Amino acid sequence: MNIDLNPNWKKLTEIDWNFSQAQTNYLTHRLHPYPAKFIPQIPHQLIQELSRPGEIVADIFCGSGTTLVEALTQKRHTIGIDANPIACLISEAKTTCFNTEDKALLNSL
């Protein structure tokens, strides 16, 4: 018996995963360098296909918070965990809501 546990997995094979021309430093993704950081388009596509607005996205090795930022942009709730306190600080800074003046200051950096 073959049971399809999640039909969304088939959708993942249909996505064009070539992001060579994609902008990767938008929003707060450029805030701080971090080793082994992946481009935001990867978690963006996965979150879009495998979750719905209002659901929780948990990243238990959140690093600099790329997945958390992308989840928030898609109206998901987030939980980020990392053993590295610097990573936690970066993630918190990247996911903090800014007002218009703060955004202008951030963009000028």
Positive or negative: CA dihedral 35, 33, 67, 63:
positive
Helices 85-94, 66-73: axis angle to 10 degrees equals 20
Residue 103: the pLDDT is 73
pLDDT of residue 4: 62
For 43-100, how does the pLDDT look when each residue is reduced to its tens digit (9 = 90+)? 999 999 999 999 999 999 999 999 999 999 999 999 999 999 999 999 999 999 877 7
Number of domains in the chain: 1
68 in a structural domain:
yes
Identify whether 59 is part of a domain: yes
11 occurs within a structural domain? no
- Does some domain include residue 95? yes
**pLDDT score at 11:** 80
- The pLDDT tens digits of the residues spanning 26-49 come to 888 888 888 888 899 999 999 999
- Provide the domain limits for residue 100: 40-109
Neighbouring CB atoms inside 10 A of 74's CB total 15
In a domain, 20, yes or no: no
Nearest-angstrom CA–CA distance, 10 and 12 = 5
pLDDT at 5 over 60: no
